[in-house]
Amino acid sequence: MRLGDAVADLPLRSELSRPAADTEVTGIQHDSRRIGSGDLFVAWRGEVHDGRAFATDAIARGAAAVLAFGPPPDAPSVPWLEVDDPRGRMGPVAARLYDHPERELLSVGITGTNGKSTTAQLIGSCLTHAGRPAAVIGTLGRSVQLPGAGLSDTSPLSSTVSGRTTPESSDLFRMLRRAVDLGARSAAVEVSSHALHQGRLNGMTFDAAVFTNLTRDHLDYHPSMEDYYEAKRRLFSLLRPGGCAVINVDDEYGRRLAADVGGVARVWRCSSAGRSDADVRVVRSELDLAGIRAEIETPAGGLSLVSRLLGRFNLENLTAAVAAASALGVPPDAIRDAVAAEQPPDGRLEPVDRGQEFPVLIDYAHTDGGLRAAIGAIRELSDRRILVVFGCGGDRDRGKRELMGRAVGELADLAIVTDANPRSEDPALIHRALVAGLGAAAGCGYEVVPDRRSAIRRSVAVAAAESGWAVLIAGKGHEATQTIGKRKLPFRDRDEAEQALIALGGELEVETVPC
DSSP secondary structure string for all residues of 214-270:
--S--TTTSSSHHHHHHHHHGGGGGEEEEEEEEEETTSHHHHHHHHHHTTTSEEEEE
Q: What's the pLDDT score for residue 50?
A: 93
Q: What's the pLDDT score for residue 290?
A: 87
Q: What's the pLDDT score for residue 148?
A: 46
Q: What's the pLDDT score for residue 198?
A: 93
Q: What's the pLDDT score for residue 155?
A: 53
Contact between 462 and 468 under an 8 Å Cβ cutoff? The reply is no
* Eight-class DSSP state of 146: P
Among 293, 294, 233, which Cα is nearest to 267's?
A: 233
Q: Is 60 exposed, middle or buried (0-12, 13-18, 19+ CB in 10 A)?
A: exposed
Q: What's the pLDDT score for residue 84?
A: 95
Q: 499 Cβ partners below 8 Å, 6+ apart?
A: none
CA distance 292 to 150: 19
Q: What's the pLDDT score for residue 513?
A: 38
* The pairing of beta strand 445-448 with beta strand 414-417: parallel
CA distance 117 to 192: 11
Each of the 515 residues of the chain gets a pLDDT tens digit; together they read 999 999 999 999 988 888 899 999 999 999 999 999 999 999 999 888 899 999 999 999 999 999 999 999 888 999 999 999 999 999 999 999 999 999 999 999 999 999 999 999 999 999 999 999 999 999 877 778 766 443 333 556 654 445 578 999 999 999 999 999 999 999 999 999 999 999 999 999 999 999 999 987 777 777 898 999 999 999 999 999 999 999 999 999 999 999 999 888 999 999 999 999 999 999 999 998 889 999 999 999 999 999 999 999 999 999 999 999 999 999 999 999 999 999 888 898 899 999 999 999 999 999 999 999 999 999 998 999 999 999 999 999 999 999 999 999 999 999 999 999 999 999 999 999 999 999 888 778 999 999 999 999 999 999 999 999 999 999 999 999 999 999 999 999 999 999 999 998 544 444 433 33
Contact between 274 and 283 under an 8 Å Cβ cutoff? The reply is yes
Among 139, 185, 137, which Cα is nearest to 157's?
A: 137
CA-to-CA separations, 242 to 208, 327, 403, in angstroms, rounded: 9, 11, 40
User: Would you mind telling me the total number of residues written for the chain in this entry?
Assistant: 515
H or E segment and range at residue 325? helix 312-327
Amino acid at 48: V
Domains and CATH numbers, the chain: 3-93 (3.40.1390.10), 101-341 (3.40.1190.10), 350-502 (3.90.190.20)
